[in-house]
Structure 1
């Protein structure tokens, strides 16, 4: 009897140690590299652009684009603002096209392996610098002949928010980055707690009357709430039509299923109707595991705030909706 009890204790101990080891492994796996961005010259305030495409059928607000200017390049370029990405990234194909058209950029925009060193650009009145940024084999390999067409050179990630406060006015398409949130604006804003652990913007809200931790993902411009298929089925309006959309995320083919919902997100004392709810097929095992380990109830996109102004006050640990 004692022999079998000892075996059982040994097995339970092994399972416990394995579970803890797996937890710390996954936590380490999801930790982003150290933040390389330095932002000087704040506050900055400028007009952002919506970019159509990325899905079939095309969505006029598929991406939220930030205009940037580069040394030696007379053309305005753009970066997709994506808080779902913890680190800012550059697109090697797009940089190659710039080097070919504008030789003055060659020294600054030439990757070494998959890395750009000593990168700099301007965001409105501010200057963004990084000792190094990853350059993915992605982006357009040719510059469009029409200079008014958006030419996207990378992704501006959540690292630009580190220790700062962002005000996104969707109705007027204004992007305002501040060292700290002005008191005059804070007095007219309803806040909920915001976590920035691992440079992921997680906010506390209520969905279906239950507390939820939602990832605010500005890269999910076309969707209100991305969630699991099971939750999607609970939230969908009965007999509502389902829109199936094919899209591409960094070369990975995704299929989304969107339908109408009467549910809303509750932020403090404010109710924000969702309108639609979506689930996605084709995500990677790593993304699915992140969802499970983080405890996230879903990803909240730009769509619910299309006529509102939101505040991402990382410095103050709060997410706000301006009243």
Structure 2
């Protein structure tokens, strides 16, 4: 073989092997850690509240979905942001430190600067949940809100580990959150289903978009948006001539820029369709985040907004996602 051909062959082999290595590296990074949650007293029923915010000059009424929780020894109601894009639950160090100072009876197994809490317990509705080990990140408010203020005491994120092997019902219109082992018989025949994947505890749906099946990550953590997708798909789904709204977005401490535009696209769920409303793409994501989305097979991230007047059921056991228009 000629030297030039040998070099080309070597480069092709290197790229091939690098691609394989990169694939397994990304898959490893994408995997969820072992589930640490134990849940007693199912079914669990709770209300939830919306956290309002602003994006640029636009007010956002549904910026985050918060579920109230009761922590032993704490006299204030605490909240966890339910984030179906997070494969595990976690706590925020700053409010934890403030809570320990205000309520010594909490007796958390947490020391400032450490990254885990062991045997963390909290009540959700009528249920009792224990995490054998839960991660702590340096986030959150450093001061506790006054008991009579309208601010919420947000102590962490509730991830999809809460859903593992179970059924989650979210009634957006009535702001109800219900966790059980099976879909209520009264709802089964009325739901329109599409396939649901729960690989590595990430909720991926396959509704129709523009008449074609499209795999989307259901991410309540991006609840201020209807659909986050690539710039090319954003251009395809955007309403012609519609104004584009740019806004600054905070993603885990990093500033990004979102571009949102109205869309006439419809999401199809079996025999039902719902309007998408808007579509968004974001500038500032990293190369690794883009590669991660490509390897996961996702066409975008679907938020809460399209379901604002729906009841949705995430049947992890049955690998299906259902929607229902409430009576």
Q: Fold-level match, TM-score > 0.5? A: yes
TM bucket normalised to smaller: over 0.9
* C-alpha displacement of 1:135: 0.6
Change (3 A) 1:111 1:316: farther
1:37 aligns with 2:37: yes
CA contact (8 A) 1:54 1:247 kept: no
In structure 2, the partner of 1:55 is 55
Aligned counterparts of 2:51 and 2:295: Cα–Cα separation in 1:
32
- 1:91 aligns with 92
Equivalent in the alignment of 1:215: 217
- TM-score normalised over the length of structure 2: 0.93
Structure 1 residue aligned with 2:26 = 26
Aligned residue number for residue 131 of structure 1:
132
> Which residue, out of 232, 236, 247, partners 1:230?
232
Instruction: State the secondary structure of the residue aligned to 1:59.
Output: strand
Name the counterpart of 1:279: 281
Contact 1:204 1:212 in 2 (8 A): yes
Count of paired positions? 323
Q: 1:111 and 1:186, CA in 2 relative to 1: closer, same or farther beyond 3 A?
A: farther
SS at match of 1:153: strand
Q: State the partner residue of 2:106.
A: 105
- Give the superposed CA RMSD: 1.9
Report the CA distance between 1:185 and its aligned residue: 1.6
Whether the 8 Å contact between 2:237 and 2:264 is mirrored in structure 1 is yes
Deviations 1:177-209 (A, max 9, x none): 012222322121111110000111001111122
C-alpha separation between the residues in 2 aligned to 1:84 and 1:216? 7
Query: What is the aligned partner in structure 2 of residue 249 from structure 1?
Result: 251
State the Cα distance separating 1:275 from its structure 2 match. 1.0
SS in 2 for 1:117: strand
- SS of 2:165's partner is coil
TM-score by length of 1: 0.94
Deviation at 1:11, TM superposition (A): 4.9
CA distance in 2, matches of 1:11, 1:249: 37
Q: Distance in 2 between matches of 1:119 and 1:283?
A: 33
Superposition pairs of residues 1-323 of structure 1, within 5 angstroms:
11-53=11-53, 55-57=55-57, 58-110=59-111, 113-147=114-148, 148-323=150-325
CA distances 1:246-298 after superposition (whole Å, capped 9, x unpaired): 22122111221111111111111211101111111222333222111111111
In structure 2, the gaps of 5 or more residues are none
* Contact 1:111–1:117 (CA under 8 A) maintained in structure 2: no
Following superposition, the deviation at residue 170 of structure 1 comes to: 0.2
Unaligned residue ranges in structure 1 (runs of 5+): none
What is the CA distance between 1:232 and its match in structure 2? 0.8
| Cα distance change, pair 10–281 in 1 and its aligned pair in 2 (3 A) | closer
CA offsets 1:26-50 (integer angstroms, 9 cap, x no match): 1011112111111111101111000
